Chain A
């Protein structure tokens, strides 16, 4: 067999292992919890304007409605319309957000959130921003993820009431299927790569004027822009750094040594955008995905308390310590990189 096909076989096998090998559930649980809070805030921000955006007497009555894409969609509008649909979206949104944040039936909560966001997205696509796409996509794949291992109110209550581990030890999170986490990680990489490619097609992103133009738009202004940033030199610098970061992230994030510095830079980058740009929850949602790239330090085994579990190479180079880790069963952590797998 020639070398080329052999490499393909090995690459496919490595990808298969990366997708299928079970992983520590904590990053997905952290993501689920914070994502739930953001979903809740999103629904509450939309709440007062829902009759205007989504109602039969709103800006887009049913006769003027155009779905975002032709073809069937799964929305609450298949079952009801008008104020009934609005109240159903509100109920689903609040229930879903709370359920995700608190870890109460998280798969059902994800389904509620997904249905709420998909429904208002279908009813009025003219009010959507990129954050709504992230809400829809993440909620959909969280339906298939097991995310109740930590940061879960029912689990916490069960421990408080002594229904679990009467010895007083904390039950360890067991490993969970990796594929929902992998698909969300890849989604973030696709987002950065594609937005970088789109920007690369524009003249203003090459000549360094793009950020300077955006900074002049009062419609996007959140907080006052420091004078330091409103100069041609800073415009060029910020424009090119944006382009480099967005095109580089999808590749560098898989390198264990580069991961943490890259995520830290990304946080600072989006915090800056949050200061400058009024794009509602987009910066918060996109950085929530960063939690999926953190690799928890393995917990100590309760059966062999006192013995330090040997950290994996990947965890040793790019891990973040999970705060308050307690004695627990062994939960070996695998690399979240196809190359490392």
Chain B
């Protein structure tokens, strides 16, 4: 008969494996989500892990990023404007993302406007969005009874103050704005929305 002490080592030598598939799922998901959202330079296995897990995260909509205001927040306040001229010679402009000029309810509902226009449309890297947006504006304006013959997209910016103070609050600040027309489209006569 074996003594209890002789049985003990064999029990300890059990491989360190979890007993349930759910445990593997939880641990695997945690590693995959962590790797997916980490900066590449701080997490060397990222390329390997993302390659293995990326397709699964994509299929199930579990991709994620948690880098808001980082590594550094943008140092410019941004707005995007659309200017258009009608066939009768009148011209108008729409400031799309003057968020703090909106009412509280409107700015809450239109937060995705800021995301689309300020974070994507205004960027040169996202110029593939410009023409589809200009065409959308023509369709939307024609639905409102306008007859636009040209569309201009304008980005506005003003830099953050080097020193924070109550006068730097966005609602009271007097800093000058810069602007740049980053896209112009003369609507062809044959354009049919």
Q: What residues make up the interface of A, taking CB atoms closer than 8 Å to B?
A: 1, 5-6, 8-9, 11-12, 15-16, 19-20, 45-46, 48-49, 52-53, 57-61, 63-64, 66, 68-74, 114, 117-118, 121-122, 124, 126-130, 133, 136-137, 140, 177, 179, 182-183, 186-187, 190-191, 193-195, 197-199, 201-205, 209-210, 212-225, 227, 230-232, 234-235, 278-280
A69 proximity list for chain B (CB < 8 A): 54, 57-58, 63
B4 within 8 A of A: no
A197 proximity list for chain B (CB < 8 A): 38-39, 42
Are A64 and B65 touching (Cβ within 8 A)? Answer: no
Are B115 and A127 touching (Cβ within 8 A)? Answer: yes
Interface string of B90-116 (1 = CB under 8 A from A): 000000011110001001111111111
Contact among B27, B39, B118, B170 for A201, CB-based, below 8 A: B39
Are B112 and A231 touching (Cβ within 8 A)? Answer: no
> Top 7 closest A-B pairs, CB basis?
A202-B71, A218-B170, A118-B61, A212-B164, A198-B70, A202-B72, A227-B166
Are B25 and A130 touching (Cβ within 8 A)? Answer: no
Interface string of B150-193 (1 = CB under 8 A from A): 00000000001101111011110100000000000000000001
B170 proximity list for chain A (CB < 8 A): 215-218, 221, 225
Q: A221 and B171 in contact (CB under 8 A), knowing A190-B33, A201-B39, A202-B70?
A: yes
**Taking CB as reference atom, which chain B residue is nearest A186?**
B30
B1 within 8 A of A: no
- 14 A-B residue pairs with CB within 8 Å: A8-B16, A15-B27, A49-B110, A60-B129, A64-B132, A114-B61, A122-B61, A124-B116, A129-B68, A133-B64, A140-B62, A205-B70, A220-B99, A227-B166
A71 proximity list for chain B (CB < 8 A): 54-55, 58-59
Chain A binding site: helix, strand, loop or mixed by DSSP? helix
Cα-based distance from A124 to B22 in the complex (angstroms): 33
Are A140 and B116 touching (Cβ within 8 A)? Answer: no
B111 proximity list for chain A (CB < 8 A): 129, 278-280
Are A280 and B112 touching (Cβ within 8 A)? Answer: yes
A52 proximity list for chain B (CB < 8 A): 136, 140
A137 proximity list for chain B (CB < 8 A): 61-62, 64
Tally of B interface residues using CB under 8 Å: 88
B89 within 8 A of A: no
Are A12 and B173 touching (Cβ within 8 A)? Answer: no
B33 proximity list for chain A (CB < 8 A): 187, 190
Closest approach, in angstroms, between the C-beta of A117 and any C-beta of chain B? 7
Cα-based distance from A162 to B96 in the complex (angstroms): 56
Cα-based distance from A20 to B34 in the complex (angstroms): 22
**Taking CB as reference atom, which chain B residue is nearest A124?**
B116
Closest approach, in angstroms, between the C-beta of A239 and any C-beta of chain B? 10
Are A12 and B37 touching (Cβ within 8 A)? Answer: no
Q: A195 and B136 in contact (CB under 8 A), knowing A49-B112, A74-B59, A74-B60?
A: no
> Apart from A190-B33, A190-B66, A230-B169, what 15 extra A-B contacts exist at CB < 8 Å?
A5-B16, A20-B19, A53-B112, A53-B116, A74-B59, A127-B112, A129-B115, A130-B68, A201-B70, A202-B70, A204-B72, A213-B160, A224-B171, A225-B170, A278-B111
Q: A19 and B26 in contact (CB under 8 A), knowing A9-B16, A12-B17, A199-B70?
A: yes
Are A130 and B69 touching (Cβ within 8 A)? Answer: no
B135 proximity list for chain A (CB < 8 A): 61
